[in-house]
Structure 1
């Protein structure tokens, strides 16, 4: 609101015309005299229209901005060219006005009885000095709850779920100042102004200046851009009536009519937007691909355009008219205005080369729509149920709305993009590649495409996108489905066999007396190690893992025969995941001792028990299904939906809770197991909350934690942090997400350097700088492996730390 549109901030443009000529456009100047003469003639012949139909309010973006050509606007051809949507030339250079970043800001969030009240109050925000006024309704909050559950909004957002004074609409108003105190005072004054001057009564309000709380509140509003691509019930919602705008003082009435139009046509959508500017974003539950759906689409678009025109508004308030709305411009503009638009394009592009079908001589709004049968030419039946997406990979990929939060460098998503900076290595880039593959126009080979495989190659399957993406794009699952199809008729890379089948290999080694010990000793001989890595398709620069001389299962079995422990709290099952069971059995042995100290009878399942993770990550999905089914057969007597199954490895917990039920949707046992699985820290937290004994001494020490990316994707690290606080550990956490190894991914050829680069973002330097006595905590086996190889320091599992804290 305060900073204006792109046109407001453009000073000069250099453009390329169809004949390759470069022309500079500025305020009162055009480097081509003939072009300048034609534009002046266009202006002079249409002055009345330019002054009455265009530039009526800041968000009138539809059509061309020809009002900037008037004398009072300074004949600013650069500003007139902005928003021409590629129809008149190519911008090759731009000079823009920079705005100094405010020294401090604060956020006032005001809750109203309805979204219409919030919209009606919005114009006051600008008059009262707010730099931003964003609005949303309770339907957006409902959608957020359905998608992500409790986000912490209840505690901060006034009038949110559970509040004794529930609200139906909100305004987010930001204020700035030279100091946090000044910005906060202005925000508080803004609230008082709304309380005293607005006819739309406030339900509640809050003023926040703490950076973390401000970010948490803004994330609720920011999530809307991606969240509204799905309705709360999972149906897809589409753009087209994407960013209409009206003068802010007319927004409340326009919103009422927009909701009425949706109801009339049996459609749903969640409006939100820049209420201070009168701009509304929405995606709507159109059903393209059917005749009835297309008829409804056309009728709604025509009626919506007529409605916004009735309020002196604009078909587009931000993103342009494009192919979806250019046909509707006659409902908004007079024939004289449309004729001026045509002439403007002809002056710049006399041959009609640039972006035909938009703004001038437009295509029909229902031509060339991508959703529908045409998008499914290369669709295949996935092995995952994809229950949130109707069993369709097309629907799943369509979750991506291009918001671009995966291009951030501050969150965990997306690790490989943070290293390469290449769009194709972002979650959004991969989703677009998969969409093009399923459409069959660019990647005509479908799942046989080597280009698509290469685009997915640097996806670490960290699952960060599954939680951090506003619409929960789960690229790890999509990658597994692609790899499964891609290698149906071709030989897989050797790493898929050596790493993908590692759980079974490890199990067999421990079944043969002395075999694991011998294999481990042999792998420590340099020539043998190099040969095995070459034959196994392992990156030669990686250090080989070590096999334990005996498995955790066998150690637990021997210990059970030799010890008698009093059990007072009931039975728990300690999951013998393949990593700690065969490669790091000291961890589960310590966990076993801790659980028994808490008073539990601990059962350790015997035989080949595996969640199927390594087969899943390498796309061997049919084998993953068989492995999980066999495991369920082994555990059948313990699958009651109640007995806790404590899982020490975060990736295995995520696999059992989230993925196994999707791979075996019709097997009730998979769903029972998912209900029973709990992480070690979550189990300890619930034990203490239930009043169980707490047999730990205060450690009074510092710790640095590397949160496993799968743990982070499933809701974070809170339970571990709570346990650490309870035992006197002052914890700091790595903020950059994935350690960089990501199971088999970091061992595959060509990935090792990026794996190390990911570790060097924060993890390795922080570990190297750790003080003496500071514990390095990492519950993931991959994380501990990566830390040791990158720094020489062996990280600890929470179970190991707690075992040392037991009262002696």
Structure 2
């Protein structure tokens, strides 16, 4: 932790003073400093410490303490910046955890008052109740905060409808580093005179701002490009008389370098109730860009462009092919969104646009496809929002990864096609590759390039390229940044855009507000150079580290390469929809998010902030709260696989540390349960008798308020007799009966066997009892897990080979079946037996649906909660199709994780968090459901959590299908 003129002792004094006032909100430990050292940019700066204020007033008090100690300060929201403005050697204040309220909505005035930590989508959800919305919506709208959007002057796809954040800010309550607190906004001449006459720090600021505006007015008018997407630099033009001396809008886009936002009053606009997307396919991105004036005349509410590079990258990785197939023919696409009060009006607008391009007088006639259904539109937008992140890592070991750094320049939209041609020529001259996409309606283009930042020469080329690219943008009447701000990535080159004199005026503007240069110093003005503080620059340590799991992917091999998958976009910080990341949703702790854990692992490998390697207690504590739900493996666009990273880390950590008691009780359940099941009544005496059960829970590290599972009186193998269904058999299948169905709920396996028989299949079991070892991964028992899988392969290989062998392995427990799709291939990536077994593994519902099975009718209401591993690796399409075929009124809940997650929720350490996760979505949804509604979930742990949380008994799909057969008999 380095800062000019300050010793570590001085910062310890600062930490102590902050803790005396704010207590546990102050986090100067290595875990927090590591988690906040990076954002989504190329840059890394380790903070002095992190503070998570519980209120605005606590922040005001904390800032006063920082001022007493001369500490620099950085406000941070979602931490998704791509230009480096949300990292600094400063005290980082995270407002997203507690200072995140929508304070008021005034539908008549069309505005809202918010705290800086409120997430964009939460404001939009609140405004939707009044038919209104906050228009700016960057692709990170599900996790970026309003404070960050104001600091960045964020935009998004719908800026053609209502402008940037700047045009949607009415007033700000700000705090200066020296402690002055006041509201700012547009200022009449009389108000300005009164403020100056009143004196004090506020009067001094306003007088200096007026003097600045008077002196530079003509230069500002001459040099500021007249485009909607000018985001670079400070908004000095807002101080001009024609803009109403709007101090609030002058502060928008200053990236926390001038004043700190405490509250904001923002504009809300009419939210078109119905939307339709028209997708146009062009032969290349350049002719698609040439047509921007034509798109604008059609008055869509969004105009988004996308070239072939991202599509090819997704296809090379085998991703979202179904969504790609929706695109019309072409090599570049433009998405035009139309909005209206009724779907008929929106469709009419889109159809008129389609007819225009069908009969276009000049230029190519693009192919066309219209998306009317909201779900279909969401699939199309997902390509645009997630494609670049999903393809950022290179699949060619000889080519650098795609990098941000020249990410979001904007030019005059009328010149976009010419600019893109010239830009591509520049890219080609440097030997880079790029992908082009962005907000074509405003001339803003996102371009990620294969900069080589790992070598000194590569960094020199990077610098030269940025300088030439900046000049090219200026030559086309543009702005170096059209959305993401300047931060460190663009700031050095602002003189190319504005000239030295205006950059000097911006320096003066900052000095008026922050004369001590303590607010996010050296960003925007007097900035670090573009090649300082590189996160993975020439000094980046490449670590060849031995692992038990095989981390092999299209993007490269090894644990470090796997950790590099996380590029910081923060999708794991979503708090609604999908599943990732349950521990973050319950705690709002950055270090308990997928991104935070990836950052800690990255720092562990570098050995700077986190220096203890596999023995790091900071990494262990962060991973300890990971539910191993595997949601990040599918929900994250980069497919960061934290469950595997956790298992690998724990396998090394426990080489030198004792495992918890729960590791034997729950991690080894597959070993001891068969023995206990030989005397089930005796086992149940210990686990179900109150006093003895208390001792069992104590010995096993299990929370006392958790119910221990009851052993069945007879295990499935002891009660099952093969019964070939009469009539013509459709073949043989092998039923994989997991530990939980074998010893605790054999009725589920029995139901599955009967249903498979009704479907015409002969059911076999493995020749000897086997265990996939699923619980072992939660405690790092990877050597034991590997041995179980080796035994499994050797046993099943002979049984699954030859004539008449089972054609499929049908499983019931999603957690166990996920081993066949995931960990089996990580242990034995080159074993043909493992690949064959993985390909033959099915969940019961998916297999029956694929075989065309139609169950008997059963008209019931069903709420379906999908186990996390099922969502991640299998999905619920087959299951939902079966329910529909039987006539059930089934609803698949968007319920996230139940919170139990195998043995996670049983632990004394995790029981509270487990319940908190369940209460986010699932438990409230089930309590709202009528009593006669069937609750269906295939996960043993999910059913246990539902029983504990609501008292309802959930059923397995096999049981519901059997019920349908029984009632139809």
TM-score normalized by structure 1?
A: 0.90
- 2:563 aligned with 1:402: no
Change (3 A) 1:382 1:309: farther
Corresponding position of 2:278: 108
1:7 equivalenced with 2:7 (yes/no): no
Q: SS of the residue aligned with 2:219?
A: helix
1:650-665 correspondence runs (5 A): 650-665=814-829
Would you say the 8 A contact 2:685–2:692 is kept in 1? no
Moved more, 755-764 or 725-734: 755-764
**1:292-343, Cα deviation, whole Å (9 max, x unpaired):** 4323322332332232222122211111122222222233332322332333
Displacement of 1:743 in angstroms is 0.7
**C-alpha deviation, 1:121, in angstroms:** 1.8
Q: Which moved further from structure 2: 228-237 or 427-436?
A: 228-237
Quickly say closer, same or farther: Cα 1:228–1:252, change in 2 above 3 A: farther
CA distance in 2, matches of 1:488, 1:413: 30
Aligned 8 A contact 1:123 1:249 in 2: yes
Q: Structure 1 residue 519 and structure 2 residue 683: aligned?
A: yes
1:594 and 2:758 correspond: no
TM-superposed CA distance for 1:666, in Å, is: 4.0
Give the equivalent residue in structure 1 for 2:454.
289
Distance 1:13 1:795 in 2: 50
Q: Give the corresponding residue for 2:579.
A: 412
Conservation of the 8 A alpha-carbon contact between 2:311 and 2:387: no
> Following the alignment from structure 1 to structure 2, what is the Cα–Cα distance between the partners of residues 736 and 232?
34
Cα distance, 1:629 vs structure 2: 1.8
**Aligned CA distance change for structure 1 residues 564 and 89 (closer, same or farther; 3 Å):** closer
Distance in structure 1 (CA, Å) of the matches to 2:932 and 2:490: 64
Is 1:617 matched up with 2:788? no
Residue 23 of structure 1 deviates from its aligned partner by 5.8
Q: What corresponds to 1:163 in structure 2? A: none
Match of 1:170 among 314, 321, 333: 333
1:304 corresponds in structure 2 to: 469
Root-mean-square deviation (CA, aligned residues, Å) is 3.0
Conserved? CA contact 1:384–1:391, under 8 Å: no
Q: Partners in 2 of 1:416 and 1:84 — Cα distance? A: 33
Q: 1:102 to 1:436 in 2, by over 3 A?
A: farther
Shift of 1:490: 0.9
Equivalent position SS for 1:323: coil
**Contact persistence 1:115–1:137 (CA under 8 A):** yes
Aligned to 2:834: 670
Change (3 A) 1:299 1:677: same
Please tell me whether residue 338 in structure 1 is matched to residue 500 in structure 2.
Answer: no
**CA contact 1:548–1:582 (8 Å) conserved in 2:** yes
Q: Which residue of 1 aligns with 2:513?
A: 348
CA contact (8 A) 1:463 1:475 kept: yes
* Distance in 1, Cα, partners of 2:402 & 2:208: 44
Q: Which of 587, 592, 601 matches 1:434?
A: 601
1:230–1:494 CA distance, 2 compared to 1 (3 A): same
Aligned to 2:795: 634
Return closer, same or farther for 1:125/1:232 CA change in 2, 3 Å cut-off. Answer: farther
Distance across 2 between alignment mates of 1:198 and 1:505 = 77
CA distance change for structure 1 residues 627 and 126 in 2, over 3 Å: closer, same or farther? same
Q: Is the 8 Å Cα contact of residues 705 and 733 (structure 1) preserved in structure 2?
A: yes
CA contact (8 A) 1:228 1:282 kept: no
Q: CA deviation at 1:606?
A: 3.9
1:678-725 superposed Cα distances (whole Å, 9 cap, x missing partner): 22122212322xxxxx58533343333222211111242111122233
Please say if residues 382 and 391 of structure 1, whose CA atoms lie closer than 8 Å, have aligned partners that are also in contact: no
Q: Distance in 2 between matches of 1:375 and 1:540?
A: 47
State the partner residue of 2:710: 546
In 1, the alpha carbon distance for the partners of 2:917 and 2:349 equals 42
Structure 1 SS opposite 2:771: coil
Aligned residue for 1:541, secondary structure, equals coil
Alignment partners' CA distance in 2, 1:444 and 1:657: 34
Matches within 5 A, 1:78-117: 78-117=248-287
Show the counterpart of 1:720: 879
Match of 1:125 in 2: 295
Residue 370 of structure 1 and its aligned partner are, at CA, apart by 0.6
CA deviation string 1:500-548 (max 9, x = no partner): 10011112334xxx42332123322111111000000011110001222
Distance 1:197 1:335, change over 3 A: farther
2:846 counterpart SS class: helix
> For residue 643 of structure 1, what is the aligned residue in structure 2?
807
Query: Which whole-Å CA distance do the structure 2 matches of 1:670 and 1:432 have between them?
Result: 32
Q: 2:211 matched to which residue of 1?
A: 41
Native 8 Å contact 2:899 2:945 kept in 1:
yes
Provide closer, same or farther for how the CA distance between residues 636 and 241 of structure 1 changes in structure 2, counting only shifts above 3 A. Answer: same
* Corresponding residue to 2:383 among 220, 229, 244: 220
3-state DSSP of counterpart to 2:763: strand
The answer for the alignment partner of 1:569 in structure 2 is 730
Distance 1:48 1:722, change over 3 A: same
1:463 CA displacement: 1.5
Asked if the contact 2:810/2:843 (under 8 Å) is kept, the reply is yes
Per-residue deviation at 1:183? Answer: 3.1
Shift of 1:661: 0.7
CA separation of 1:223/1:574 partners in 2, compared to 1, >3 Å: closer, same or farther?
same
> CA 1:134/1:231 → structure 2, altered by over 3 Å: closer, same or farther?
farther
CA distance in 1, matches of 2:170, 2:929: 50
Helix, strand or coil for the counterpart of 2:667? Answer: coil
1:727-761 Cα distance to aligned partner (Å, 9 max, x none): 34332222213222111111111332343344444
Write out per-residue CA displacement over residues 6-43 of structure 1, whole angstroms, 9 at most, x where no aligned residue.
22223333444443344654323466333333333333
Paired positions, count: 790
Q: How many Å apart are 1:672 and its aligned residue?
A: 2.5
- 1:493 corresponds to which of 652, 657, 660: 660
Deviations 1:184-209 (A, max 9, x none): 33333344445556744342334444
What SS is found at the alignment partner of 2:474? helix
Give the equivalent residue in structure 2 for 1:508.
Answer: 675
1:778 aligns with 2:937: yes
| Worse-superposed segment, 97-106 or 464-473 | 97-106
Aligned twin of 2:235: 65
Q: 1:424 to 1:127 in 2, by over 3 A?
A: farther
**Distance in 1, Cα, partners of 2:860 & 2:231:** 59
Other-structure match for 1:680: 844
Q: TM-score, normalised by structure 2?
A: 0.76
Secondary structure of the residue aligned to 1:418 is helix
Deviation of 1:145 (Å): 3.5
CA distance in 2, matches of 1:238, 1:750: 40
| SS of equivalent to 2:557 | coil
Note if contact 1:119-1:252 (Cα within 8 Å) is conserved in structure 2: yes
What is the alpha-carbon distance in structure 1 between the residues aligned to residue 361 and residue 185 of structure 2? 41
* The one of 174, 177, 183 aligned to 2:346: 183
Displacement of 1:449 after TM fit? 3.5
Q: Is the 8 A contact 2:855 2:964 kept in 1?
A: yes
Residue 395 of structure 2 corresponds to residue 245 of structure 1? no
| Closer, same or farther: CA 353–787 of 1 in aligned 2, 3 Å | closer
Worse-superposed segment, 486-495 or 232-241 = 232-241
For the Cα contact (< 8 Å) 2:896–2:922, is it kept in 1? no
Task: Identify if the C-alpha distance between structure 1 residues 75 and 699 changes in structure 2 by more than 3 Å, giving closer, same or farther.
Answer: closer
**CA–CA distance in structure 1, aligned partners of residues 739 and 947 of structure 2:** 19
**Displacement of 1:275:** 0.9
The answer on whether the counterparts of 1:105 and 1:177 sit within 8 Å (CA) in structure 2 is yes
Secondary structure of the 2:909 match is coil
Partner residue of 1:532 out of 671, 674, 696? 696
Matched-pair contact (CA < 8 Å) for 1:567–1:601: no
Deviation for aligned residue 1:61: 1.7
**Which one of 705, 726, 750 corresponds to residue 864 of structure 2?**
705
Where in structure 2 are there 5+ consecutive unaligned residues?
A: 1-159, 197-201
Q: Does 1:797 align with 2:956?
A: yes
